[in-house]
Amino acid sequence: MIIQKLKIKIIALGKIKEKFLKEGVNEFLKRLTPYASVTVLELSPIEIKDENLTEKILEEEGEKILSNIKPLDYVITMEIEGKQLSSENFADKITDLTNDGVQEIVFVIGSSCGIGKNVSKRANFKMSMSKMTFLHQFARLILVEQIYRAFKIIKGETYHK
């Protein structure tokens, strides 16, 4: 029986502008190729000109995000109020999902204002990277590095420590 590589999709609002961050993300995406099929989908955030419209705009961005998620996808949203995991626990989470037959994991990184309630409701798991606040562009680099680290842990390969 041939086991398909796990598919991972990262949906992120906004483009990475800084060269050093792009290079870092691309390096970890390249390193991940033996372990999983990883794609990054960048969506354009909607500019918020009136703070009173933030919730409405997050809902609109959410509709764009949700249109790129399939019904059977396992969705992990990056949220400040989400659960914090150690690298080992994150690796265990990925292992458990693959053992449960999940074929595609979708990570969602919102804009600088977060994600809409509609996306949060769709999440199967809400994850927080830290109690600290990061630029969402840094969040993407940290996420791909942690996904790579998780696969190294799962495979028992060096890198983790």
Q: Which CATH number fits domain 6-155: 3.40.50.1000, 3.40.50.2000, 3.40.190.10, 3.40.1280.10?
A: 3.40.1280.10
What is the predicted pLDDT for the residue at 50?
A: 83
Structure-block tokens of residue 58: 């997050």
Closest CA relative to residue 144, chosen from 112, 114, 105, 116 = 105
What pTM was estimated for this model as a whole?
Answer: 0.93
The DSSP code for 153 is: H
What is the predicted pLDDT for the residue at 160?
A: 56
Residue 73 burial class via C-beta count within 10 angstroms: exposed 0-12, middle 13-18, buried 19 and up: middle
Other residues' Cβ atoms within 10 Å of the Cβ of residue 51:
8
What is the predicted pLDDT for the residue at 106?
A: 98
Separation between Cα atoms, residue 78 and residue 141, nearest integer Å: 13
Closest CA relative to residue 79, chosen from 37, 105, 115 = 115
Task: Answer yes or no: is pLDDT of 38 > 80.
Answer: yes
* Domain-wise residue ranges, the chain: 6-155
User: Which residues partner with 84 through β-bridges?
Assistant: 128
What is the predicted pLDDT for the residue at 1?
A: 36
